[in-house]
Amino acid sequence: MAKPRLLLADDHTLIVEAFTKLLETEFEIVGIVADGSQLLKTAPELKPDVVILDLNMLKLNGMDVGKQLKRMLPLTKIIVLTMSDDFEFAAQALRQWASAYLLKKSAASELIRAIHEVLKGKTYVTSRVARRLLEEFVRESRPEHEAHLTKRQKEVLQLLAEGHTMRQVAVLLDISTRTVAFHKYQMMQQHGLKSQSDIVMFAIKQRVVALPV
């Protein structure tokens, strides 16, 4: 079985070397780039499964690079690895293009876990940032702003937010895949959800699931 393909984007040589040694036993490192413009040129050629992106590289803003990269390679998962624990920046990245947000000082094992989670279609947020996000979402989620969801919609939302596919949700709830799709797309349309990250955050705001802490 082929190893998942990773592309590392970071201009800190020592960090890149450490991550390469850590990851190469489980994953194939297909490339290493040191700035945003090089990443946008190289990634479409290599077509990695996962890009690990440092937001503070030279040449191009990290947020802009993430947006452009997601447009170029919509199936590639992007993991943010940064020194910044700014939860507002994290929320923006997760809503628009990132599948995971980790701090560089996090345990090395957390990066490996995050890679495996995003490859399953899930969203991963390092615990320190996750707590801040959760606090903010709970603060903003006042009863008068809660969505009117049926019991079935809440069940579907919870399972989707936990990373299950529509087919898996259908099996777990003993309903048809078409019914799951109906509930999913109805909620997405009514509440302006456009991505898996939006679904996860909406589920948190509705207190259907909690971020990992």
Give the tens place of pLDDT for each residue, 80-124. 988 877 777 788 888 889 999 998 887 677 899 999 999 998 889
CA torsion, points 129, 135, 136, 141, in degrees to nearest 10? Answer: 140
Domains and CATH numbers, the chain: 5-135 (3.40.50.2300), 142-205 (1.10.10.10)
The stretches of 24-146 forming alpha helices (DSSP H) are 36-46, 62-72, 87-96, 108-119, 127-140
The helix/strand count (H/E) of the chain reads as 10, 6
Single-letter amino acid code for the residue at 103: L
CA dihedral 9, 12, 17, 23 (to 10 degrees): -40
Q: State the Cα–Cα distance between residues 177 and 161, nearest whole angstrom.
A: 16
Predicted confidence at residue 144, as pLDDT, reads 43
How high is the pLDDT of residue 130? 74
CA distance 103 to 129: 8
pLDDT tens per residue across span 27-37: 999 999 998 89
pTM of the predicted model as reported, rounded to 2 decimal places: 0.65
The overall average pLDDT reported for the chain is 85
Q: What gap in Å lies between CA 29 and CA 23, rounded to an integer? A: 8
Distance CA(61)–CA(54), nearest Å, equals 10
Dist CA 124 CA 143 (whole Å): 27
